[in-house]
Every structure is written in structure tokens, then in C-alpha cells.
A and B are shown apart, each in its own frame.
Chain A
Amino acid sequence: MRVRRLAAWTALPLAVTLGLAACGSGGDGGSGGSDSSAVSIQIGEPKHLVPTNTTETSGSQVLAGLFSPLVDYDAQNKPYEVAAESITSSDNKVWTIKLKDGFTFHNGEKVTSEDYINAWNYGAYAPNGQDSNYFFEKIAGYTDLQGEKPKAKELSGLKKVDDLTFTVTLAEPYIDFRTMLGYNAFYPMPDAAFSAPGVLKDSYEQAPIGQGPFKMKGAWQHDSKIDIERYDAYPGEKPKVQNIEFRIYQQLTAAYADVLADNLDVLPTIPTESLSTAPTDLGDRFKTSPMSSFQFLAFPTFDKDYSNPDVRKAISMAIDRDEITKSVFKDSQQPARSFVSPVLPGYRDNTAGKAGEFNPTEAKKLYQAAGGPAKIVISYNGDGGHKDWVDATVNQLKANLGVDAVGVAEPKFADLLTKVEKKTPVGAFRMGWVMDYPTMEDYLGPLYSTNGSSNYYGYSNPEFDRLVKEGSAAKTQDEAIAKYQQAEDILAKDMPVIPLRFGENVFGHSSKVKNVEMDLFQRVNLVKIEAAS
């Protein structure tokens, strides 16, 4: 009896300790439920909230509220000035940026040209490890800031003229520089962000101070939410709502359930599982709008099986894109027959020409004449919901080309890229691209140039490289677009990749909000959104 009682007295505290140890700091409780007056928008947990370190959609959505870009894009996706008064250049090499007067940071600091220069230098300095580092590579002096022990800490191409004016000297003339400035890597950062020149405070990211229409309300609550509220001293277009809550979700399906129950206001991406039921579930609150994503099938051009362009064209002609976008994607994506996105100035339909048309008989003839491989392999990453369309494509290839075809899943996209970089034969593989700013060069350069950052398939055509280069060095936009289009025509001849689909924003909102608009970058327009009633 004595032993038992003792044991009971021992077990109890042990159990309690276990519970308490786990509770730790569970006490703060926070605000609990959501503020009913705030508009809630779904995001994922952002990786970072520093302008020069943010490249994914969730972070860029939050920053879009906190900062105001130098330029934004109009309905034709041409840039117009927002925080800048003017951005001019006579030779496209030396650019003069004049800032609008009256912009202040949320801590009251006046926005000056130095805030831009400091932020950009910080982003370009390699030891800071910023994700958007490469956006500054066109600016003169960039190479001096690279490597483990860079020679310089500041870009030699950035010069302050006065408090509201600075000049940017590029290494080479670049016609699209003004367009490029709409990207979030080019936001300014206040003096308060830095603890010493060139050293960012660790705490800055937890509550970024910007000069945009909204300011942080409290700090970033990781994995939970980010609250922002209207910044009344903002000189530009005033937002219609007072508070916005970015609610962090791990799974889109959970967010979708919340939108249906009016528990969440905006879901920027409807999960694939719910695409077939969403139009009836949401009625007129189910919406689509253009965006820039581009899905394609890449070929390792170093692989003998696929090195003949005719083989690639034949495969392209054997794929019925309309059927796949309809049956697999329920028309949430559009069939692609060009090499750049339709949202761009300079886009033309059907640049792939005959190779983009579905023509099984021609395809089979061409494939046999060109001596294509007896077995086609399509590799994809198994974690991205690609299985359905790859299977459909594989079946079409089997039926239309009379060859064996198989889809092979790699666990992650990183595994696929590792294999491709090591030149392991993976067959054809899926790739995707989302633009950073709306110019054709943002597709042609990274995807198809010999040294393109996303050119994993080894495509190289000196003529193409030359045309893209000439395009970006052109004197006028029209001239540039003409060159880019000539370059795209070369792609149609060489067919280094097969265009498959262009993406769309497929989004939904609750009955409590209206005027929900989304931009090309999958971001909700925070200034336009309004509470219903």
C-alpha cells in the first residue's frame, strides 16, 4: 500500500511536468479570433519580408501593402510611375530617377534617394545572401560586390544627385530598366532598418517599415498571421479598407473551407481538388484573371535521343493541349502555343506555328522520319500535383506516335534539377516560369539564352543570344520588341522546349468583400478591395 501511494505521488508530478514543459510560453493568447472589421487574405508563411530577400508570392503580397513601387503596370502591362516622378534616360545606360515629394516611411522619416541607394547596395552585396541579388547585376559595379570577400560595398553605378534625385548607371544599355523597377527588390528601406551602414537590423524583418499605403500593425506572427492597417499619411491612392489581415495557411484546402464558410475573405488560388466544384460553390465570387505563369516541357538537348528538332516538333504536334487543359485543368489554364506569356507587350499567338497544332498523323510521320526514340520518358516532381496531366500527355503520345511512353516522378523539383545538372538521362522534363516584370526579355533571357539562369536543358543558339542582346540594348521599345520577336521566331524553328499551358489567377472571395482584383504576380490589389455593403 505504501509503495503504491508513493508511486502515485511520483507519477502525478511527472505527468504534470510533461504537460508544463510542453506548455512553455503558451500563455500569451494574443487576440484570439480575427478582427471582424479586417479583410482577411490567405497567404503561405513568407520566407522573408525584406524587399531584397523576397521572391515568393506570399512575401511579395505582404510587401505590396507595405511599400509603394517606383513603377506599376497599367491594363496593357506597360509601366507608369508611382513613387517616382520620372524615370528617364537618353541612352538607356544612365538613368535619372526623380522621386515624388511627400512620401514618408511609416516611422515618419522622409523618403530620400539615399534610402533607395542604401537598400539596393544591401541587396547587391553578396555576403548578405539576398535572394534578389541578381536583380542588381545590370547596374555598373555589380561584379565588385560579388564573391566571398567583395572588393566594394557599394554599387559604383548609384549616385545621389539631391534628396529626391539619383542616377543609375548600367553596365550596358538596357531598354527595359524602367519596367524592371516595378519588382519588389527595388523598394527603398529607411535608415531605421539599418543598425550600421550596410547592416540590416535582425528585427526589421519582423515588422518592416515601408512607405506604402499600409503599415504593420504589431509584428509578424509566424505561421499565424500578419496584420496591417491603413497609413494615413500615404500621398498616393488611398485604400478603401482600414485593416487587412494576411492569414497564414499551410494548406489551400483548409483556406477554401474557410472561404465557403465566410470565415476568410480572399483566397488567391483555388486548390486543384476543388476546381470542379468551385464555380457552383462560390457562384459569381469565383473569378479568373490573367497572370504570367508558363508551363512547358523541356528537352535535354545534349541527349542524342532528343537532339533533333524534328523529334521535339513531332512530340509537340502529338499533344492535344486543348483536351488536357479542359479535362485535367477544367479550363483554369490556357493552352500555350508561343514561347512567352500572353500578358506581355509583344506577345503573338501561335508563334510555334505548325508545331503547336495538334496533328497526330503528321506527328507520327515526322517522328518516324526523324528517328525519334522508341520510348519517351517525361520526368516531373511528384510533390506539385503534376501527375494527372503528365499521365494524360503520356497516353496521348502512346496513342498518337505509336511509341512507348512513361511518366517518372522525382520526389522534389530539386531532385529533378540535380539529375538534369548531372546530365543523368531523365528524358523530357516539366518546367515552369513566372515573370518578375512584364517584358519579353524576362522570358527569353533566363529560359533560352545560353547562360540563362533557368536554362537547365543546355539550349544554345548564338544567333538567338545576339538578337536578345540587341533587343535589350535597343533605342526604343518598338525596336526592342521587334528584335525579341525575331528571337522568338528562332525558338519556333529550334523548338528547344514545348510550350504547354499559360496559367491564370483562379481565385475566390467571401460574400463580405467586393472589388477583388488580382495582378499578374498573383497578388490581390489591396488598394481596390472593399468591404461589401
Chain B
Amino acid sequence: MFRYILRRLLQMVLAFFGTTLIVYALMFAGQGDPIQALAGERPVTEAQRAYLTEKYHLDATGVGGFFYRYFDYVRSLLQGDLGQSLTGRQIGDILQAAWPVTLKLALIALAVAIIFGVTAGVVAGIRRASIFDNSTLVLTLLVLGIPTIVLAPLAQYLLGVKWQLFPPTAGSQPTFYALLLPGIVLGSLSLATALRLTRTSVAENLRADYVRTARSKGLVKRRIVTVHVLRNSLIPVVTFLGVELGNLMSGAIITEGVFNIPGVGFNLFRGIRTEDGPLVVGIVSVLVVVYLVSNLVVDVLYAVLDPRIRYE
């Protein structure tokens, strides 16, 4: 087990540098004129252009320039310095400010998905073809069909502005309550998927041989469902939720924008829009770590859920 984790950790280091290299190369290749992008529609003066070019080595182009800038970046990264964004702020500071609020949002979304999605999925799986099952099917299809870009403003308008149940926006240091609406909106998509996955899995396992055996042994239904069926049904759901945690952290661009939450998604969007290479690479590097670690957690959890899975 320890050797397995150690091996995975070593692979993570490799994967980390591989992905940063690719992301850095993509940003480098796609770079137009970041100085003008930063200035918006204002003309840029020669003095300003020369200053920024020198500061960020923007004149280092071509293959040689790329490796020069990449290794420069990696060297400071190894010293724990994520560098400066093109606006002159430390990327470490930006991430430090953005990270907690995004994490809170992602955890709320995940909790919503687990509490409602898995519970409803289990009930729907047990009572297949009941009214509950059919109505959740319709509801999940509906949620899966509405993109966040519609769902988020709609929820904001109805629940925030019209009926004033929730504050319309959350801001940078939100209370739990202010984050609840964005969290539910963000989690609704994972909720629907988690529900469908759990339902199918539970329904399938209920017909499995070991359930019949347990039943003929005379076990109470409650114990069969909670101990035997649920544990075995959770494997696909755990896989999904583990990957989803990464998605929720990186992919909240729309939700964070609508509810004015200056988190990771917003900074990523801003970085891409203003061609701020260092900022984008910095955020993506951290996201890579999140994905790698959450995948490792998922793999280890498999062993907990299914005794047949062993890591040597």
C-alpha cells in the first residue's frame, strides 16, 4: 500500500511537470500582443511597451525563447515563487485570495450533490418505476438540459432579486448563506449525474446474487441496502465525484462570474482574456495538483469500498 502511494506520488511529479510544459507551450504559442490586451482599447506608448517587454522577457521568441522562458519559470517555481502576473501582482497572492472561496463553493456544491443526489438515487433505485423514480428522471433530465449560463442568472433573478430569499451576489468574503445559492446552482449538474449513476448502480446490485443470498439468510432489508448494496454501488459514484471535485474548482467560471465570487475560475478567465501567460500557467499548475491528488484519493477509496481491489 505504502509502496503504491509512493509510486503514485512519484508519477505525480512527472505528470505535474509534463502538464505545465504543455500549458506553458500552449500559452506561448497562442500569445498575440499581451501588452495591448492589457491596455484594452487605449493606445500603448513606446515607454510602456519597452518596460513590459523587458520585465517579462516578451522579446524572447521562437523555440530558444520558449525554453529560456519556461526554465526561468520552472526555476522560480521550484523556489516557491509563482511569479508576477502582467498587472504586477504576485500570482501566489492572487491564488491565496482566490483559493479559499472557490474551495468553499466546491465543497458546498459537492455536499449538495452527495446529500441530495446519492440519497435520491438510492431511493429511486430501490423503488424502480415508482412515481418518485419517474419524477426524478424528468427533473434530472431538465437540469442536465439547462446550461449553467442560463440556470445561474435565472436562479439569481428569481431567488435573489424577485423573492429576495438569498443575497443576489456573494462577494469575496461571503457568509455560508450567501454561498448557498451559487453552491446549489454549481452542484445541480453533478447532483443530476450522481443521482442517475447511483440509481442505475443500486438497481443493478439489488438483483445481484449476493443480495439474494443475504435476503435468504434472513437479513433485514435495511441492513442489506445500507451495508451490502450501498457499498458496492458507490464505486462508480466515488469515481465520478472525485473527478468532479477538480471540475468544480476549475470550472466554476460562469457561476463565479454571475454571483461575483472572485475565485479561481474568474482569475483563470481573466488570465486567458488578457493573455496573461504567467497567471494562467500558475493557476493551471495548482489545478493539476488538485486533480492528481483527488484521483489518488479516489483510487485509495476503491480499496476501502471493494475488498477485492488490492494495491501492491
- Residue numbers of A with Cβ under 8 A of B are 1, 3-4, 6-8, 10-11, 14-15, 17-19, 22-26, 29-34, 47-48, 55-56, 126-131, 133-134, 146, 148, 221-225, 247-251, 253-255, 257-258, 260-261, 263, 383, 412-415, 417-418, 431-432, 446, 453-454
Partner of B169, one of A4, A254, A417: A254
Within 8 A of A (CB), among B55-95: 55, 87-89, 93-94
A-B contact pairs, 17 of them (CB 8 A): A4-B304, A7-B1, A126-B50, A130-B47, A131-B48, A134-B47, A223-B267, A248-B172, A249-B260, A250-B260, A250-B262, A254-B258, A257-B168, A263-B167, A414-B33, A418-B33, A431-B41
CB-based nearest A residue for B254: A251
Within 8 A of A (CB), among B239-261: 249, 256-260
A130 near B43: Cβ-Cβ < 8 Å: no
Given contacts A7-B1, A222-B94, A261-B160, whether A1 and B307 have CB atoms under 8 Å apart is: yes
Report Cα–Cα, A24/B96, bound state, in Å.
7
Interface residues on B, range: 35 or more
CB-based nearest A residue for B171: A224
CB distance from B35 to the nearest CB of A (A): 8
Partner of A129, one of B55, B97, B275: B55
Given contacts A4-B304, A418-B33, whether A10 and B50 have CB atoms under 8 Å apart is: no
CB distance from B85 to the nearest CB of A (A): 11
Q: Which residues of chain B have C-beta atoms less than 8 A from A19's C-beta?
A: 103, 107
CB-based nearest B residue for A29: B173
Given contacts A11-B301, A224-B262, whether A254 and B290 have CB atoms under 8 Å apart is: no
B40 near A56: Cβ-Cβ < 8 Å: yes
Within 8 A of A (CB), among B217-270: 249, 256-260, 262, 266-267, 270
The proximity string for B residues 129-142 relative to A, scoring 1 for CB distances below 8 Å and 0 otherwise, is: 00000000000000
Report Cα–Cα, A414/B5, bound state, in Å.
47
CB distance from A285 to the nearest CB of B (A): 15
Candidate in A23, A47, A414, A446 with the most chain B CB atoms within 10 angstroms: A414
Q: Which residues of chain B have C-beta atoms less than 8 A from A30's C-beta?
A: 173
Given contacts A4-B304, A255-B260, A261-B160, whether A432 and B41 have CB atoms under 8 Å apart is: yes
Within 8 A of A (CB), among B89-112: 89, 93-94, 96-104, 107
CB distance from B52 to the nearest CB of A (A): 7
Report Cα–Cα, A415/B36, bound state, in Å.
9
Report Cα–Cα, A55/B270, bound state, in Å.
19
Q: Which residues of chain B have C-beta atoms less than 8 A from A247's C-beta?
A: 171
A223 near B36: Cβ-Cβ < 8 Å: no
A14 near B96: Cβ-Cβ < 8 Å: no
Given contacts A3-B1, A24-B96, A129-B52, whether A18 and B293 have CB atoms under 8 Å apart is: yes
Report Cα–Cα, A221/B171, bound state, in Å.
12
Within 8 A of A (CB), among B29-48: 32-34, 36-43, 45-48
The proximity string for B residues 186-218 relative to A, scoring 1 for CB distances below 8 Å and 0 otherwise, is: 000000000000000000000000000000000
CB-based nearest B residue for A13: B297
Q: Which 9 A-B pairs have the closest CB atoms?
A: A26-B100, A129-B51, A224-B172, A414-B36, A223-B262, A7-B303, A257-B168, A254-B260, A126-B47
Q: Does B157 contact A (CB under 8 A)?
A: yes
Within 8 A of A (CB), among B152-200: 153, 156-157, 160-161, 164, 167-169, 171-173, 175
Q: Does B127 contact A (CB under 8 A)?
A: no
Give 18 new A-B contacts, CB below 8 A, not counting A55-B42, A431-B41.
A7-B301, A7-B303, A10-B5, A11-B297, A11-B304, A22-B103, A23-B103, A26-B99, A30-B173, A56-B40, A129-B52, A148-B54, A222-B89, A223-B267, A250-B266, A257-B161, A261-B168, A414-B32
B293 near A14: Cβ-Cβ < 8 Å: yes
Q: Which residues of chain B have C-beta atoms less than 8 A from A414's C-beta?
A: 32-34, 36-37, 275
B99 near A22: Cβ-Cβ < 8 Å: yes
- Residue numbers of B with Cβ under 8 A of A are 1, 5, 32-34, 36-43, 45-48, 50-52, 54-55, 87-89, 93-94, 96-104, 107, 153, 156-157, 160-161, 164, 167-169, 171-173, 175, 249, 256-260, 262, 266-267, 270, 273, 275, 290, 293-294, 296-297, 300-301, 303-304, 307, 310-311
Candidate in A248, A249, A251 with the most chain B CB atoms within 10 angstroms: A251
Report Cα–Cα, A19/B256, bound state, in Å.
19
B307 near A261: Cβ-Cβ < 8 Å: no
Q: Which residues of chain B have C-beta atoms less than 8 A from A263's C-beta?
A: 167-169
CB-based nearest B residue for A25: B96
CB-based nearest B residue for A223: B262
Partner of B43, one of A1, A34, A126, A454: A454
Partner of B168, one of A126, A222, A260: A260
Report Cα–Cα, A1/B5, bound state, in Å.
19
Q: Which residues of chain B have C-beta atoms less than 8 A from A250's C-beta?
A: 256-257, 260, 262, 266, 270
Given contacts A29-B173, A126-B50, A134-B45, whether A413 and B103 have CB atoms under 8 Å apart is: no
Q: Which residues of chain A have C-beta atoms less than 8 A from B300's C-beta?
A: 7, 10-11, 14
Given contacts A225-B172, A257-B168, whether A453 and B43 have CB atoms under 8 Å apart is: yes
CB distance from A254 to the nearest CB of B (A): 4
CB distance from B62 to the nearest CB of A (A): 18
Q: Which residues of chain A have C-beta atoms less than 8 A from B293's C-beta?
A: 14, 17-18
Given contacts A25-B96, A254-B259, whether A417 and B33 have CB atoms under 8 Å apart is: yes
Q: Which residues of chain B have C-beta atoms less than 8 A from A261's C-beta?
A: 160-161, 164, 167-168
CB distance from A485 to the nearest CB of B (A): 25
CB distance from B155 to the nearest CB of A (A): 11
Partner of B262, one of A127, A248, A418, A432: A248
A25 near B100: Cβ-Cβ < 8 Å: yes
Report Cα–Cα, A261/B55, bound state, in Å.
44
CB-based nearest B residue for A454: B43
Q: Which residues of chain B have C-beta atoms less than 8 A from A221's C-beta?
A: 172
Given contacts A3-B310, A18-B294, A133-B47, whether A413 and B171 have CB atoms under 8 Å apart is: no
A257 near B169: Cβ-Cβ < 8 Å: yes
Q: Which residues of chain A have C-beta atoms less than 8 A from B256's C-beta?
A: 250
Report Cα–Cα, A276/B256, bound state, in Å.
25
Candidate in B32, B47, B100 with the most chain A CB atoms within 10 angstroms: B47
Report Cα–Cα, A432/B41, bound state, in Å.
8
Candidate in A1, A126, A454 with the most chain B CB atoms within 10 angstroms: A126
CB distance from B282 to the nearest CB of A (A): 14
Report Cα–Cα, A22/B263, bound state, in Å.
12
Report Cα–Cα, A11/B300, bound state, in Å.
6
CB distance from A48 to the nearest CB of B (A): 8
Q: Which residues of chain A have C-beta atoms less than 8 A from B89's C-beta?
A: 222
A254 near B168: Cβ-Cβ < 8 Å: yes
A15 near B257: Cβ-Cβ < 8 Å: no
